[in-house]
């Protein structure tokens, strides 16, 4: 008879999904704040100029949510380590959203 005495934590796919959806939703809201007010876009941008930022920024947000889960999974515990993990995850998320906005709007609003 074999016994499984593994001490690793199981990966919770529902938590990963929730964090990635939350990150993507935040990214979508942020980029819509920039994109929706444009009423008369520059004709040089093309007809479907909004598609790239609306896809790129939520993907960046979802990756930020995944990073948050990975950091909690490997380093999150109680006390000051948990606090540092949350701060680092928030910083990486904000930088990721910012980079997604830059990549999404490059060549259009931020030329």
Q: Give per-residue pLDDT as tens, 20-40.
A: 999 999 999 999 999 999 988
**The pLDDT of residue 18 is above 90:** yes
Predicted structure pTM score = 0.86
For the chain, what are the domain ranges?
A: 14-35+45-105
As beta bridge partners, residue 110 has 106
Percent of the chain with pLDDT over 90: 64
Q: Which of 5-14, 65-74, 97-106 has the lowest mean pLDDT?
A: 5-14
- The mean pLDDT of 13-22, rounded to a whole number, is 96
So what's the pLDDT on residue 5?
62
């Amino acid at each position: 008879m074999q016994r499984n005495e593994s001490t690793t934590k199981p990966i919770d796919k529902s938590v990963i999904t929730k964090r990635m959806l939350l990150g993507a939703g935040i990214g979508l809201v942020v980029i819509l704040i920039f994109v929706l007010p444009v009423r008369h876009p520059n004709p040089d941008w093309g007809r479907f100029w909004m598609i790239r930022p609306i896809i790129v920024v939520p993907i960046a947000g979802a990756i930020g949510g995944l990073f948050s889960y990975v950091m909690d999974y490997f380093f999150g515990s109680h006390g000051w380590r948990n606090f540092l993990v949350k701060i680092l995850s928030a910083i990486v998320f904000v930088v990721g959203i910012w980079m997604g906005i830059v990549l999404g709007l490059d060549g259009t609003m931020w030329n």
